[in-house]
């Protein structure tokens, strides 16, 4: 199934993101989490991309297992910053061999364990170059990333929307946003995108809060902000894991309901390879829908 066909059917599209386990020995626990969340019948899942060496092959094989062994529609993440055109073509051929028809096309970050060619010498300088190349194959539907609070490297919100439009014009079919915690950031981002002529679905990405230190680390990396009210609530309870998780669930349910009520086409949950919070949130959303 090509995932864009799921949108516009009158009901929210719920999806989950998983990341590749760092160690092969963690695969059993990973599959147990996926099977637990499969019971919630997500529309699809995505799997982040391990670019280097054995991680690359394990990513492709794991995406194939999600699709064919576990039986969930899967979109495979693919980054291009460190790949040649020949390498990308080989990866796409392997992914296609598993019957996967959907790609999340990303530039990616420069690898920490090796040099990256200068921009003018890369086959793919930007995610839009990857999207344009994949589109030529006429096989994959593609998602790209959007940044409600602006990509950390973008010079301005205007320039950021221009880059997003380049990706959509190159052939992307839907947008998944970076995590955020203030819905006004999503609504403003959606309005900017529509004003720029971007008409495809813009799916908000939501990360349930489960750990305050982890939250601060993630937001600092991706350029998202922690709303003052959230910070003030979490700071005094940060040493109480149960209280943090309960707050994270309550906040995410309120956030998701408001997003869906305002016309968001679905919710993409950043699960962090855990099932409990995401399962509780989705059950509550469906109970009151």
By annotation, the residues acting in catalysis are 17
Rounded Cα gap, residues 256 and 258, in angstroms: 5
Rounded Cα gap, residues 13 and 261, in angstroms: 13
In a 13 Å sphere around the CA of 255, the CA atoms on its Cβ side amount to 27
Q: Please give the full DSSP string across 126-174, using - where no structure is assigned.
A: SHHHHHHHHHHH---EEEEEE-TT--TT-SSHHHHHHHHHHHHHHT--E
Rounded Cα gap, residues 236 and 190, in angstroms: 34
Rounded Cα gap, residues 205 and 212, in angstroms: 18
Helix (H) or strand (E) holding 76: strand 74-79
Q: Are 231 and 37 in contact (CB under 8 A)?
A: no
- Going by DSSP bridges, is the β-strand pair 44-47/266-270 parallel, antiparallel, or unpaired? unpaired
Torsion angle of the four alpha carbons 210, 211, 212, 213, in this order, in degrees rounded to the nearest 10: -150
Q: Are 131 and 167 in contact (CB under 8 A)?
A: yes
Q: Is 8 in a helix, a strand, or coil?
A: coil
Q: Give Dmax (Cα) for the chain.
A: 53
């Amino acid at each position: 199934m090509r995932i864009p066909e799921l949108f516009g059917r009158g009901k929210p599209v719920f999806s989950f993101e998983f990341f590749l386990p760092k160690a092969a020995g963690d695969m059993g626990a990973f599959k147990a989490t996926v099977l637990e969340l499969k019971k919630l019948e997500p529309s699809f899942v995505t799997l982040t991309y391990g670019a280097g060496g054995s991680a690359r092959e394990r990513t492709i094989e794991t995406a194939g297992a999600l699709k064919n062994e576990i039986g969930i529609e899967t979109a495979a993440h693919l980054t291009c910053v460190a790949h040649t055109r020949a390498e990308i073509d080989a990866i796409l051929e392997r992914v296609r061999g598993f019957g996967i028809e959907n790609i999340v096309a990303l530039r990616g970050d420069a690898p920490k364990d090796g040099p990256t060619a200068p921009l003018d010498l890369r086959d793919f300088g930007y995610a839009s170059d990857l999207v344009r190349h994949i589109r030529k194959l006429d096989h994959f539907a593609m998602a790209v990333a959007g940044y409600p609070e602006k990509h950390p490297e973008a010079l301005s919100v205007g320039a950021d929307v221009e880059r997003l439009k380049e990706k959509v014009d190159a052939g992307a079919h839907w947008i998944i946003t970076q995590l955020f915690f203030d819905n006004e950031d999503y609504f403003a981002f959606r309005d900017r995108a529509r004003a720029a002529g971007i008409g495809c679905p813009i799916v908000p990405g939501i990360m349930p809060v489960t750990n305050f230190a982890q939250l601060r680390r993630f937001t600092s990396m991706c350029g998202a902000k922690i709303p003052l009210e959230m910070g003030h609530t979490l700071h005094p309870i940060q040493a109480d894991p149960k209280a943090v998780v309960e707050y994270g669930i309550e906040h995410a349910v309120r956030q998701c309901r408001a997003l869906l009520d305002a016309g968001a086409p679905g919710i993409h949950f950043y699960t962090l390879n855990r099932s409990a919070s995401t399962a509780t949130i989705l059950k509550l959303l469906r109970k009151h829908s």
